[in-house]
Amino acid sequence: MPGSEPGGAPAAAAELRVGRRTHPLTGVVQGGLWAGAAVVGLGASFLQGDRWEGVPWWVAVLAVVGGGLVVGELAGLVSWWFTRFVVDDEELRIDSGVLTRRSRRAAFERIQSVDVAEPLLARVVGLAEVRVDLAGGDESRLVVRLLPLAEARDVRRLLLRRAHGAQGDGPDDALPDHDGGELITRVPPERTLLGALLSLDLLAAVAALVAILLAALGFGAPLVVLGGVLPALSWAAQVVARRVVAEWGFVLWRTPHGLRIERGLLSLTAQTIPYARVQGVAVVEPVLWRRLGWCRLEVDVAGRAGSDDGDLDTTLLPIADRALAAALVAELVQDAGPDDEVVTVRASRRSWPFAPVGWRFRSLSLGRRRASSTTGWLHRRTSHAPHAKVQSFALRQGPLQRLRDLATVELHTPDGPVDVDVHHVDAAQARGVVLRAVDVARDERAQTATVGSASAGRVLGAGVDGADEVP
């Protein structure tokens, strides 16, 4: 495989052009996951009363476990046998399917990022998967699973080289693991745990647990404890475990291609967020975190909506100090500076019936290069989006808003955690803000297009004139 021995990379690249299967243990690992699902399904059926008459319970349990394992492993091995991946000079292709063949293809120019992840079962046997994020489309991720970790990293390097226009296969041309990355920050495990314990989700679960216990004691209904306490405890445990396990050892790097994230306790995950795909950034400040000067950064990434990792794919930094958060926001969503003319509108005092407390904390600001909105008291969220990335604008008035001469302003960005809008502002102000936002966004997109065309012209000119450097 690439990089396994001197001179081995070209031969391995030639093998990838023809197509090859992944590691044989892929079928075992995938079969183990399916076997677990089969055992759970058969076990649930058994517990619901679907039992075999005259068969001892332990025989039935062995049959359920053994049958699930056999079915799952066979399915995994068959799926692995009929799956091949190809890396030629033009695209990455994954062919799969037994009865119905399926071929997923990704041209190199559509590749946005390539990452290596180590799911728990794969990590146990020293394997990893290569995740390829693409530009646009409903299915914007291809996964090559599973390869030995060193080979997965070599495939990642090869795909990145092809995505950036290089055709050589020599090991000397391979990209380093972090693409020349600069360490930005590490989140200590103790801060991750403390942040989870101080989250509003956990506080809500604890409040629900206390309410259930008080209701059970007050009404003398012990069955309420069994029916309510266990789900509340499970909810609380999931809140802490999910965040701690997923965000353990969180490291943020700055690379030439984007911000690179590494995280995970049981399963190790690495992902790269290209700068060009950042559509907006949200700063989240729960009320208890604000006392400690902490916040959470979430990001809108083009093509990431609806991914398998859910909201974890949108986490840029799980816990950050305000200074670091402000620096990252300024890097990803730039503004003109302190002398920039900023227009700010706030929710009208007439909107108090809609939000008796929250109306005081709603605002929208328009700078020259970005729009920002703030909402929330217990869970404050400040969203930033560059004008050039805003897709459309809306001014909405419901029947009750019209009675109080109010309106809602919305600046639409791709699906994700960033929502740049403000509810229940004065209707006349709302119309003025929308018109200004349209004008600013038009000017910003035109300036961005002009700068991009000039940069392309300089690159083409350098190539024609044979210059060594591009100015």
Take residue 64 and report the two structure tokens written for it. 């359920």
Q: Given pLDDT bands bounded at 50, 70 and 90, which one contains residue 372?
A: very high
Percent of the chain with pLDDT over 70: 78
Q: Determine contact, residues 245/260, Cβ cutoff 8 Å.
A: no
Mean pLDDT, residues 358-375:
94
Mean pLDDT, residues 194-199:
91
More confident residue, 197 or 216: 197
> Which pTM value belongs to this model?
0.80
Q: Identify the CA nearest to 317 among candidates 389, 260, 383, 386.
A: 260
Give residue-wise pLDDT tens across range 254-263: 988 889 999 9
Give the model's pLDDT for residue 137.
54
Q: Given pLDDT bands bounded at 50, 70 and 90, which one contains residue 345?
A: very high
Average pLDDT of the chain is 81
Q: Is the pLDDT of residue 461 over 60?
A: no
d(CA 27, CA 44): 25
Mean pLDDT, residues 218-224:
64
More confident residue, 226 or 411: 411
Q: Given pLDDT bands bounded at 50, 70 and 90, which one contains residue 164?
A: confident
Give the model's pLDDT for residue 4.
40
Mean pLDDT, residues 367-380:
93
3-state percent breakdown (helix, strand, coil) of the chain, nearest 5:
45, 25, 25
Percent of the chain with pLDDT over 90: 46
For 115, what's the count of Cα atoms within 13 Å in the CB-facing half-sphere? 24
Q: Given pLDDT bands bounded at 50, 70 and 90, which one contains residue 304?
A: low
Give the model's pLDDT for residue 42.
65
Q: Is the pLDDT of residue 386 over 50?
A: yes
The string of DSSP letters for 104-132 reads EEEEGGGEEEEEEEB-HHHHHTTEEEEEE
Mean pLDDT, residues 274-288:
93
Which contiguous run of DSSP H or E holds residue 207? helix 200-219
Q: Given pLDDT bands bounded at 50, 70 and 90, which one contains residue 302?
A: confident
d(CA 20, CA 85): 6
**The 3-state secondary structure of 308-336, one letter per residue:** CCHHHHHEEEEEEEHHHHHHHHHHHCCCC
More confident residue, 372 or 165: 372
d(CA 354, CA 361): 13
Give the model's pLDDT for residue 339.
62
Give the model's pLDDT for residue 195.
93
Give the model's pLDDT for residue 121.
87
Q: Identify the CA nearest to 179 among candidates 198, 194, 197, 159.
A: 159
Take residue 58 and report the two structure tokens written for it. 């332990």
Give the model's pLDDT for residue 204.
85
